[in-house]
Every structure is written in C-alpha cells, then in structure tokens.
Chain A
Amino acid sequence: MNMKEYINTGSKDTRSGFGEALLELGKQDDRVVALCADLTGSLKMDDFANAFPERFFEVGIAEANMICIAAGLTIGGKIPFAGSFANFVTGRVYDQIRQCIAYSDKNVKICASHAGITLGEDGATHQIMEDIGLMKMLPNMIVVNPCDFNQTKAATFAVAKHRGPVYLRFGRPKVPNFTQPDMPFEIGKAILMNEGADVTIAATGHMVWHALEATRMLEAKGISAEVLDIHTIKPLDKEAILNSIKKTGCIVTAEEHMMNGGLGDSIAQLLCREFPAPLEMVAVDDRFGESGQPDELLKKFGLDAGHILAMAVKVVARK
C-alpha cells in the first residue's frame, strides 16, 4: 500500500484560518457577532472587528464577563464567537461556561487560540494542556481541534452552522498547511488521511502532520500505518476508530494535550468498552509546560513524529 502524499503548501498559523473564516461569516450572516478580551490581533479577529465594528465587542481583560455576555447575546438570536487564549477561555472561566453556556445550551462558539505547548515562549502559565478534557466533560459541548489552516477555516464555517455550544481549539505557530481547501468538514466525522494495515494513528490538531511524517518513517521500516484526523474529539467518531482498529489491531493516539482528559483518554475508554486492543498515547504525561520554541518543546515533551514512530513500533509489538 503506497502512502498518500501530503504537500505542505506553505506554513500558516491555524488561528489565521479562523480569522479569515470569521470575516467571511460576518459578511454572510449578520447574526454573527464576535467578542474578544484584549487579544484581538492574536486571535486574528481584527479583520472582523474592522469590517463590523457594531458587531464586535472588546470586553477588555475580563474573560468571565465575556463568556456570559456571549451567552446573553444568543438571547436575541445572535451567534457569538468569543475568543481568547485557550487557557483564558476554559480553565479561567469554567463555571461561567458550565452554567451559562453548556447547561443553558447556548449557541456560543468558544474560540481558543494558542492552545497547547506550541504557544511557546510564554511558558506554562499560558500553555494549557487540560482544555480538551475540561470542555469534553461538559454535557452539550462539542469539542473541535482542527489540524491546519485550511481545516481550521472549514471548521469555523461548520461550527457556525451547528446550533449549540462549541469549543473550537487552534494554535499560535505557523505549521504545515496540507489539507485541501475544499476538503469537506463534518463535525464528528473523522477523516481517513492514509490507509494502512498494521497500526492506526489517531491524531488531532497540530499532531496530524507529525502523524503523517511518522507514517513515512514507519513505511521505511515496513510498518503500514493508517492515519485518522480526529478533528472532533466530542462527539467522537467511534465508528471510524473501531473500523480502523478492527483492521489494524492496535492504535497510537497523538495530541498536544495532557494524557488525562484528552483524545487518547476518550479512545481508551471506547476500546475498553467495545474492542480491547493495545493502545499507546503520545501526549503530555502529567506535567506543566515551559518556555521555549514550539518545535523544541514538541520534541522535549515527546510530541513529534519521532515519538509517534516509537510508540507505533511499541504498540505493534504488543499485538
């Protein structure tokens, strides 16, 4: 089986995909409004803010207020996109999200940039790697974590169409842009990036590219890897994952997140219940991040192609 080729058409940050889509959504639908807590440029929301000043709310450094104002704006039919760094729109405002958005089933899109270790130099205070867990535990909440610029743009359009609370997670650094701009994006439907026979690699966010790189390296070792892009962590595409594992017999999960509460944890739960099979996780093992450049941090924290490769070899041996 030959590996499917993916070409990096030019590295771009995923947050810019969000920003472009938000501007476009603003043009398409005047119910779309946006809020930001003093990070408008970082979130790439400035084009929207400039184009639609009457629909953009700068709340200042007050995320709790922002989240609940967003909930209030839905009462009146608006579709609010509330943005900040992942840390500040999850952990900092968990109870606000829980009561006013999730439990109240409000149509708010929580937009989280600078997620994960690749936030880089700012260090652990800003590098949240618990956010997927926090958000996926909330009933009614959808959790989406796209892999590149094109997919983040597509995901932003998709979450706008979905009625209900959404956590949309993206990142800071420029990363390879390799999915097709017209690739269909359906919430809750994993994308089969590469067919393989020996091991499944289920990756989310920035780690999808690393998974594809690992797949090339595995091919050289004679191991055929199937790669799933799990852009939606909740609801999880159980069918796609189980179908793949029934074929390959083992799985590696890869994410820029803690092991506790992340994608690997969701898939482990699925396997234990429905189809026990060897599983290894590429994720952060119960420690905080630190300052550094994104690429060197990924390596240090075991979140790169090399580590996915090592885990794949390990999990295949466990079959």
Chain B
Amino acid sequence: MLSVKKLQDISNQVRRDIIRMTHMAGSGHPGGALGAADFLVTLYYEFMKPDPNGFTMDGTEEDIFFLSNGHVSALWYSVLARYGYFGIKELGTFRRMGSRLQGHPSIIDGLPGIRVASGSLGMGLSVATGAALAKKLNNDNHLVYLMLGDGELEEGQNWEALMFASAWKVDNLIAVIDYNGQQIDGPVEKVMDLGNLRAKLEAFGWHVIEMYGNDIPDILEKMKESIANLHKGKPVIVIMTTHMGFGVKFMLDNHKWHGVPPNDDEAKQALAQLDETLGDF
C-alpha cells in the first residue's frame, strides 16, 4: 500500500503532465482532468492494481476501468503512462497527428489500457454495464469501474443504463460521477439543474455514496466502502465532489478551463504551483 503522501506526489506529477500536454498540444481539456487526478491515481494504484504489461482487451481476471467523459483524456493517458502501460515520453505526442493519444480516447493502434472509444457523451455507463455482465457470465469476480461527468448526466442514455443496471442487479459495477459542477456553457446548475441527484440515483435503485474527490484519505475510505457494498444486489454509484482545475489556483472552479489549454505564461504559472515529484516526460 502506498502512503497518502506518495499518492499525492503521483497526482501532482499527473497534474504537471496534464498542464504540459495540453499546453504543448495547444488544445485539450485541462480543467476536469486536473480535478479528477487524485481519484484516478488512487483508483489505479490502490484499488485496481492491474498488470500494465499484461493488458488484454477482454480484461479477464482483472479489474477494468472505463472513462465516459473522454475529454479528460490527458488525465487518463498520464495515469496509464505513469502506471507503466506505455512510456511517459509518448505523452508528448498528445493530440498530434499519428499519435496513439488521440484527442479523445480510442483503441486505434492498440493503446494499452483503453478498451473502447469515448468522447461522444452518455455511453460509458452502458458499456461498463455490458462489461460487468460479461464478468458475471464468465464467473470473474473482478470489478468494473467507470468515471462519468456530471454535465454528462444530461444525456438520456445514462438514465436508460441506470434503470437497466439496477433491474438486472449488476452489482459488480462502481460508477463514479465527477461532480465538479461545471460544464462548457457554465455551472451545471444553470445549464441544466440536476436537482436532488442523490435522491434520483437512489430512486433508480443504486447504492449511493458521496465522496470528496480532492482528498486522498476520503477517496481511500469511500472507495473501500463502495467495494464493500458490491455483490449485494445493487450497483454502486459515487457522487464525487471535485474542483475543476484543482491544484492550479487560477483554474479553480472555473468552467472556462473546461476545454481551453494554458498559453505559455499560464502554463509557467501553473507549473510553478505543482511540484515535479517524479520527473517530467
């Protein structure tokens, strides 16, 4: 088990990667990626612990992760590279022509760690549900994890999947909503108020857990609780409160950083706020 300090160090390096990747590419989505970094690092390093050298598309006998809000691809690529799926140097190719690190996740050229394309929103929960059903059919007791965005819940297909997974008792699945409250057009509550999200999810038959996603001890505790509630007839969904842009003061809680890369000065300022703990790519 890694110390909280070590997990924080990895998350900080991942944040540096996100700033540098989006800055070098001149495009991308730094805000949500920064906010969910603590969670995704903790999930891979403390919970899933997959074998990065033994990646298979089927993911048999290992926990698997899907990213529905594919625009935070810089985060996922950085975590995959830092975890050992591919060399960190490849992070420098993000969004460039010919790169395996497409703007949004894809399986082209077989980038290890990724099993389905995402980016067009609202589909990941259904895909993860299908993969969880396959694990059940295969008597594979490993888990399926999914992260999706809060604004993404405006896509109706999510509610089809929420209905299905509880009706079919898909209780080997943990969905984590990155609830940063921001989307492209502004705060989620102004664009499309989600209302009492917890009550809605409970009404759809899911076990709901609330977590603060920018606090590693809380992530450790609540994810353990989530896992402990599996295999009891209900899928588990985590409402993970995060701050868009967490770690970079001028990006914090600002929807303008959803899909805009930092310029030279902004990147410099941002990197000054993030320790280089593991060495830049």
Residues of A whose CB lies within 8 Å of any CB of B are 33, 54-55, 57, 59-60, 62, 64-65, 67-78, 80, 95-96, 98-100, 103-106
Contacts and interface: CB of A to CB of B under 8 A. Distances in A.
Q: Which 8 A-B pairs have the closest CB atoms?
A: A72-B130, A76-B134, A68-B126, A65-B160, A69-B130, A62-B160, A72-B127, A72-B131
A70 B130 CA distance: 6
Given A72-B126, A76-B138, A104 B117 contact: yes
A78 B160 contact: no
Contact of A65 (B116, B133, B134, B164): B164
Nearest to A106: B116
Given A64-B160, A65-B161, A77 B129 contact: no
Contacts, number: 114
Given A60-B164, A62-B163, A103 B126 contact: no
Nearest to B59: A75
Contacts of B118: 99
B128 interface: yes
B137 A78 contact: yes
Interface in B98-132: 106-107, 115-120, 122-124, 126-132
A7 B153 CA distance: 55
B250 interface: no
Nearest to B129: A69
Contacts of B161: 65, 68-69
A75 B116 contact: yes
Given A69-B161, A98-B120, A104-B107, 9 more contacts: A59-B160, A69-B129, A71-B116, A72-B131, A76-B134, A77-B58, A99-B119, A100-B126, A106-B116
Contact of A64 (B58, B126, B130): B126
A68 B106 contact: no
B71 to A, nearest CB: 13
Question: Which of A60, A70, A71 gathers most chain B CB within 10 Å?
Answer: A71
A137 B217 CA distance: 49
A134 to B, nearest CB: 16
A110 to B, nearest CB: 14
A72 B134 contact: yes
Contacts of B163: 60, 62
Nearest to A102: B117
A1 B94 CA distance: 63
B27 interface: no
Contact of A77 (B60, B106, B126, B157): B60
Contacts of B135: 76
10 contacts: A71-B116, A72-B127, A75-B131, A76-B59, A76-B133, A76-B137, A77-B60, A77-B134, A105-B107, A106-B116
B107 A72 contact: no
B157 A68 contact: yes
A131 to B, nearest CB: 20
B137 A71 contact: no
Nearest to B124: A68
B157 A65 contact: yes
B117 A100 contact: yes
Given A62-B160, A65-B164, A75 B130 contact: yes
Contacts of B123: 64, 68, 96, 99-100
Nearest to A37: B160
Contact of B127 (A57, A71, A77, A98): A71
A73 B207 CA distance: 23
A99 B120 contact: yes
A68 B137 contact: no
B64 interface: yes
A269 B135 CA distance: 44
A72 to B, nearest CB: 2
Given A62-B163, A65-B157, A104-B116, A72 B140 contact: no
Nearest to A31: B137
A59 B157 CA distance: 12
B29 to A, nearest CB: 17
B117 A68 contact: no
A105 B116 CA distance: 8
Contact of A100 (B59, B127, B138): B127
Nearest to A95: B120
Contacts of B120: 95, 98-99
Contacts of A80: 130
B59 A69 contact: no
Nearest to B133: A73
A59 B116 contact: no
Interface string B44-75: 00000000000001111000100000000000
A75 B129 contact: no
A80 B135 CA distance: 14
B140 A69 contact: no
A105 B119 CA distance: 16
A99 B134 contact: no
B57 A75 contact: yes
Nearest to A75: B131
A63 to B, nearest CB: 9
